Structure 1
Amino acid sequence: MTAEPPVPASSDTAPPSGEPARRRRRDASETRQLLLDAARRRFAQDGYAATTVRDIADDAGVNVALISRYFASKEGLFEECLRAAGDELRRTTGQTPADRVPEAIARHIADLGAAGLSSQLALLLRSSGDARADEIRRAVLARSSEQLAAARGWRREEPGSDQILLRAQMALAAGIGVAVLRSSIRLEPLSSATEQDLVGPLRDLVDALLPPR
């Protein structure tokens, strides 16, 4: 375990109100995770363009220079946050047996519940106003839809593959839309629906768009 060197208190690294001025030593993995968590919240709340590395470092309570050490740049940190968001989607759509995909989507949406839209999903949906950030976002969503399509037999070079991928993207969009209406807009009875309530309709939806092969 690699320990972080102590960081002297300054305007860049002052601890949040209520914390002692002398901060305990953190290991590198903990510091990295603190930065990722703070960045994901900031990017989801304020957007990519409006978020500064100083904002993120202050939220995490670490020296701003550590962003360059672990992620090279703000763009590198954003890309890592999106990669984590993509992992969340892939766990739902890409690493599940084909016949269990509707249940996996239903479980994921039900888990949002009263907690609201997850910061990972909010990060994927929020327009950044930055061309590179949007390119990264599209790539994450593209990989997730390809994995969903592959779970139903899609192969890139096969005849008709574009139609299967289109249907997978529509199923992914529908699932995200359900999550937004449920968690952010609180549309009833969708907002209060249980996992069991959601499974049947989502199975019908996914099976209609992506019939088992």
Structure 2
Amino acid sequence: MNKDAAATRLLLVGAARRRFAFDGYRATTVRDIAADAGVNVALINRYFVSKEGLFRACLDRAAGGLQPDIRNLDRVLDDLVDHVVSSPTDEDSMQLLLLVRSTGDDRVDVIRRETLRHHAERLTAAAVPDRAGSPDDALLVRAQIALSVVLGMTMMRTATRVEPLASADEALLRAPLRAALHALLVL
């Protein structure tokens, strides 16, 4: 893909994430997204096939902080902790809205659940890299709890700005969060 195409894809994903987060999936039109991005609406179909495909791309990008290197649990834990304790931004709030907002569209809700399950499965692969096949349910539940901790802290630090957690120093947050995630993911 050339630079212009990659840049256009990023513009579309950014515009779509804002629309989906603030207006919801149903109320958002591909024309609105294209207008916000300043591109022709046909490019959505070219790059994402459909509005649903664009939503999936937005979720993949929103969950980008949850993309573990499946062979190194220490790195995964460090990356997750870094993501949560780094300065919270409005971007984090918008990403969180994409992951938790009810859409009223069954297919979009399935995509959201699939995305979150996929990331939990990747966490289980990091926790037990030598295990072949699907994770057992107990480990998958533990990974989903770990994701819930990450999403919950992100929500409390960004969307709701609950104090003193929202403005807590990184040093105060880092050790207990890492310990909690480690306890959940190490058998």
Q: What TM-score do the two structures reach when normalised by structure 2?
A: 0.86
Deviates more, 1:40-49 or 1:99-108: 99-108
- Gaps of at least 5 residues in structure 1 are 3-25
Q: How does 1:91-170 map to 2 (within 5 A)?
A: 93-95=68-70, 97-115=72-90, 117-153=92-128, 155=131, 161-170=136-145
Structure 2: which amino acid aligns with 1:31? T
Partner Cα distance (1:29, 1:114) in 2: 24
SS at match of 1:113: coil
1:82 to 36, 59, 64: 59
2 CA distance for matches of 1:116 and 1:60? 17
Higher helix residue share: 2
RMSD: 2.5
Aligned residue number for residue 157 of structure 2:
182
4+ residue runs of structure 1 moved beyond 6 angstroms? Answer: none
Structure 2 CA distance for partners of 1:161 and 1:201, relative to 1, 3 Å: same
Shift in Å at residue 33 of structure 1? 2.0
Aligned length: 186
Q: Which residue, out of 26, 32, 35, partners 1:55?
A: 32
Report the TM-score when normalising by structure 1. Answer: 0.77
Measure the CA separation in 2 of the matches of 1:163 and 1:59.
Answer: 44
Q: Percent identity?
A: 51
Q: Is the 8 A contact 2:59 2:99 kept in 1?
A: yes
Higher relative contact order (CA 8 A, sep 6+): 2
Distance in 1 of aligned mates of 2:152 and 2:44: 33
CA contact (8 A) 1:102 1:202 kept: no
